[in-house]
Amino acid sequence: MTGFLGQALLYIVPFLLVLTFIVTIHELGHFLVARAFGVKVDRFSVGFGKTIVGRTDRHGTEWRIAWLPLGGYVKFSGDLDASSVPDQAGLAELRQRVIAEHGPGAERDYFHFKPIWQRALIIAAGPAANFLLAMVLLTGLFMALGEVTAAPRVGQVAPGSPAAAAGFLPGDLIRSVNGRAVDEGADVTEIVMLSAGDPLRFVVDRAGREVQLIATPVRQVENNAIAGRVRVARIGLGIQPLRSDIQYRRLNPIEAGARSVERIGSTIGGTLTYVGRIFAGKESGDLLNGPIGIAKAAGGITQQSAAASDDPTLSALNVLINLIQLAALVSIGIGIVNLLPIPVLDGGHLLFYGYEAVARRPVPARVQEVGYRVGLALLAGLMLFATWNDLQKLSLFKFLGGLA
């Protein structure tokens, strides 16, 4: 029993720490921009449920830490409905109530009576804070650790694989894939993983001679210590750089910042490409993770990082570095998801504001209600799909046709 509890804590605690930290920064983005525009805020909560500790600042905002650490929220004064976009009737009622309670002019401090551009910036500040957080975390890691690049040198070629059929040989140095220059093995892996069933044109350096090869990635099931059982595209190459292929250099703050922006851009691009391939029927969505998958990744990273060294200090440092990398990746993901044009998300609010800017009036209440319900259904469906993937990766429900 003790061992089970220990394993559960190993997976749950890092997940909750990472998630709560990231969501708090997201909500802080909304809050700071709202405060800059003079919006009245009732509450900023870290966690949900009953208050553990709290205080009210001089602006009348209640700051609190709640007992359920599953993120947090910011509540603007005057929020009338779940979508936070009242229609004309709702705005008129709110205006009358505020004026009756606080006098004429008090409504100017409320979020819903701010200009559209201010409201849009306040909403967009949440996802922007996620991307900024990822940039800060990655920049710090690049500055502290420097950058290691390992050229994509072929070490092994699996017999009978697409790579073997294409003519790859051990010792080949991959220079480009489909015209895109590659500097390290991770670049090749990313392209291959997002190209199942699509022929890829490789240019390799073979003993100083340029050779062009074509290989088509095929999906295969792998047991990953962190991700679980996943179906990914491979061509059967084992990347094994020589000592001379590995380079290390320290990065100054500007270089580190540029590399972090490049990493965020490639992550966003890869995510959008993968989602596009799902809708095109070229991917099954196996790599989409829900809360269970993120928790498993957090626990697996913590366990592997701690076991990497016998020195407790080095183990703790290794755990910290890898959890920071995970936090940056999850933060990017949360930023992307929140920008989806679904009414219950920030992107849906921005969509409503776009309509309001063009039509010069808020979206009608009936349309908002329908949009809200559809948005909830879409979001619930996405969460169920991601959770189903997570359970399949844990080898559950195998009898129902899971990964085999």
Residue at 43 is within a domain? no
Counting other chains too, the contacts that 182-186 makes at CB distance below 8 Å and 24 or more residues apart are 182/152, 183/149, 183/151, 183/152, 184/149, 184/150, 184/151, 184/152, 185/150, 185/151, 185/152, 185/239, 185/241
| Residue at 170 is within a domain | yes
The DSSP-derived string for 103-149 is -TTGGGGSGGGS-HHHHHHHHHHHHHHHHHHHHHHHHHHHHHH-EEE
Q: Which of 188, 223, 249 is the last residue of a domain?
A: 249
**Residue 271 covered by a domain:** no
What's the confidence (pLDDT) of residue 82?
A: 46
Taking the C-alpha atoms of residue 256 and residue 269, their distance in angstroms, rounded to an integer, is 20
> Domain check: are 124 and 170 in the same one?
no
Residue 359 to residue 380: CA distance in whole angstroms: 30
Which residue reads 């933060």 in tokens? 331
DSSP 8-state code for residue 370: H
Last residue of one domain, picked from the residues 231, 249, 267: 249
Q: Are residues 242 and 135 in the same domain?
A: no
Residues 364 and 402 in one domain: yes
153: DSSP letter: B
Note down the domain range covering 226. Answer: 148-249
The C-alpha atoms of residue 392 and residue 1 are separated, in whole angstroms, by: 25
CATH code at 216?
2.30.42.10
Pairing status of strand 228-234 against strand 209-215: unpaired
The rounded distance, in Å, linking the Cα atoms of 268 and 333 is 8
Could you tell me if 142 and 8 lie in one domain?
Answer: yes
- Total domains present in the chain: 2
> Do 231 and 288 have their domain in common?
no
Q: Of 249, 267, 298, at which residue does a domain stop?
A: 249
Contact in structure between 151 and 241 (CB atoms under 8 Å): yes
Look at residue 401 in the predicted model and tell me its pLDDT.
41
In this structure, the answer to whether residues 139 and 288 fall within a common structural domain is: yes
Q: Using an 8 Å Cβ cutoff, are 202 and 176 in contact? A: yes
At 103 the pLDDT is 76
Residue 362 lies in a domain: yes
* 377: Cα separation from own chain's centroid: 21
Yes or no: say if 296 and 392 are a contact pair by the CB < 8 Å rule: no
Q: Which residue has the tokens 């409320």?
A: 110
- Taking the C-alpha atoms of residue 345 and residue 338, their distance in angstroms, rounded to an integer, is 5
Closest CA to 125 of 36, 248, 28, 223: 28
In a domain, residue 328? The reply is: yes
Residue 360: how many CB atoms within 10 A of its CB?
8
Which of the residues are catalytic?
27
Tell me the C-alpha distance between 40 and 396, whole Å: 48
Element holding 176 (H helix, E strand): strand 173-177
**319 & 403 share domain:** yes
Model pTM score? 0.84
Q: CB within 8 A of 100, min separation 6: which ones?
A: none
Tokens (6 digits) for 78 = 């005057």
Note whether 142 and 195 are same-domain residues. no
Q: How far apart, in whole angstroms, are the C-alpha atoms of residue 111 and residue 116? A: 10
User: Does 125 share its domain with 176?
Assistant: no
* Residue 372 confidence (pLDDT): 81
pLDDT of residue 298: 67
Which residue do the tokens 């559950």 mark?
396
**Could you tell me if residue 237 is inside a domain?**
yes
- One domain, residues 194 and 290: no
pLDDT at 54: 92
- Confidence at residue 225, expressed as pLDDT on a 0 to 100 scale: 60
The one-letter amino acid code at 195 reads S
* Residue 258 maps to a domain: no
231 lies in the same domain as 321? no
Are 200 and 276 spatial neighbours (Cβ–Cβ below 8 Å)? Answer: no
Is the residue at 32 inside a domain?
no
Q: State the 10-residue block means of pLDDT for the chain, 404 residues long.
A: 54 81 94 94 92 92 90 81 58 74 77 91 96 96 91 94 95 94 90 92 94 93 67 89 90 94 92 84 72 68 69 80 88 92 90 91 82 83 73 51 39
3 and 129 part of one domain: yes
Structure confidence at residue 19 (pLDDT): 87
Q: And the tokens for 258?
A: 């540029």
